Structure 1
Amino acid sequence: MAFPRVVGLDTDWTIWQNYLGMEYWGKGSGAAAASEDNIERVDRLVLKDKTNKDMWIKEFADIANIFNDILKNGAKIAIVSRNPNKEMCDRALSLFNANNPNDGDKESSMISLVTYDEIKDESKVEPWRRIHGWSGEDYSEFLMFDDEAAHNSVRIEVGVTFQLARDQKGLYWDLYQEGLNAWRRAKTIIMHNTPTAPKNRKLIGYSGLPQFWIDLIGKGEGIVEPKTPYRWGFAFYIADYIELAKYFCGWNGIWLNDTGDKVCEVWVRDYEAWQSINKIWIPENGGGLIQMNNIHWSYEETGRNQEDRDKIIEGWGVYTPYVLFSRHHWMNGMPVPEPQRWSEMVVYTQVQRALFDVVPLTDDQVKANTASNPRPYPFNHQIKEWNITVPDVTSQEFAARGETDYF
Structure 2
Amino acid sequence: MVKKPTLIAFDLDFTLWPFAVDMSAYVAPPFSKNMNGQVVDTRSRKIKHFKEVPSILKRLHHEGYILAIASRTGDPEAARQLLKLFNWEKYFTYIEIYRGSKITHFKRFKSESGIDFSEMLLFDDEHRNKRDLDTIGVMMIMVIGGVTHKLVTEGLDKFSNSYEQK
Q: Same fold by TM-score, threshold 0.5 exceeded?
A: yes
Counterpart in the other structure of 1:205:
none
Tell me whether 1:125 sits opposite 2:107 in the alignment: no
**1:148 paired to 2:126:** yes
Q: State the shift of 1:189 in Å.
A: 4.2
C-alpha distance in structure 2 between counterparts of 1:185 and 1:146, whole Å: 20
- Provide the secondary structure at the position in 2 that maps to 1:118: strand
1:70-81 alignment, distance < 5 Å: 70-81=60-71
Distance 1:163 1:12 in 2: 15
- How far apart are residue 147 of structure 1 and its match? 0.9
Which runs of no fewer than 5 residues in structure 1 stay unpaired?
A: 27-34, 97-108, 191-407
Instruction: Give the C-alpha shift of residue 47 in structure 1.
Output: 2.8
Aligned mate of 2:164, from 188, 193, 201 = 188
Amino acid at match of 2:71: S
The secondary structure found in structure 1 opposite 2:48 is strand
Q: Distance in 2 between matches of 1:181 and 1:94?
A: 30
Q: 1:136 aligns with which of 98, 103, 114?
A: 114
Separation (CA, whole Å) in 2 of partners of 1:176 and 1:128? 19
- Show structure 1 runs of 4+ deviating over 6 A: none
Q: Distance in 1 between matches of 2:48 and 2:31?
A: 12
Q: How many residues align?
A: 163
Does 2:66 correspond to 1:88? no
Q: Secondary structure at the match of 1:92?
A: helix
Match status 1:17 vs 2:7: no
SS in 1 for 2:90: helix
- Residues 123 and 142 in structure 2, CA contact (< 8 A), matched pair in contact too: yes
| Mapping for residues 239-278 of structure 1, pairs under 5 Å | none
2:4 is equivalent to residue 3 of structure 1: yes
Distance 2:124 2:139 in 1: 11
1:154–1:162 Cα contact (<8 Å) kept: no
- Cα contact 1:161–1:186 (8 A) shared by 2: no
Distance 2:96 2:84 in 1: 15
Whether 1:116 aligns to 2:94 is yes
Indicate which of 7, 24, 40 corresponds to 1:48: 40
- 1:44-93 deviation line (CA, Å, top 9, x unaligned): 7x63213x145x53111111111112212211111001112111111101
Identity level (%): 27
1:178 aligns with 2:130: no
| Equivalent-residue separation in structure 1 for 2:139 and 2:99 (angstroms) | 21
- Does the 8 A contact of 2:61 with 2:67 survive in 1? yes
The amino acid that maps onto 2:104 is E
Give the residue type in structure 1 aligned to 2:18: Q
Partner SS for 1:61: coil
Give CA-to-partner distance per residue, 1:92-134, whole Å, 9 cap, x none.
Answer: 01111xxxxxxxxxxxx21122111111101001111111122
User: What is the Cα deviation at residue 22 of structure 1?
Assistant: 6.7
Quick check: which has more Rg, 1 or 2? Answer: 1
Q: Structure 2 matches for 1:2-401, cutoff 5 A?
A: 2-21=3-22, 23=24, 26=28, 35=29, 38-41=30-33, 47-50=39-42, 52-53=43-44, 56-96=46-86, 109-166=87-144, 169-190=145-166
Query: Contact (CA 8 Å) 1:20, 1:57: kept in 2 or not?
Result: no
Give the number of the structure whose residues are more often strand, by fraction: 1
Cα distance between partner residues in 1 of 2:122 and 2:114:
17
Distance 1:78 1:185 in 2: 22
Give the C-alpha shift of residue 14 in structure 1: 0.4
Question: Which stretch shifts more, 8-17 or 63-72?
Answer: 63-72
The RMSD of aligned alpha carbons is 2.1
Partners in 2 of 1:22 and 1:164 — Cα distance?
Answer: 22
CA distance in 2, matches of 1:72, 1:57: 26
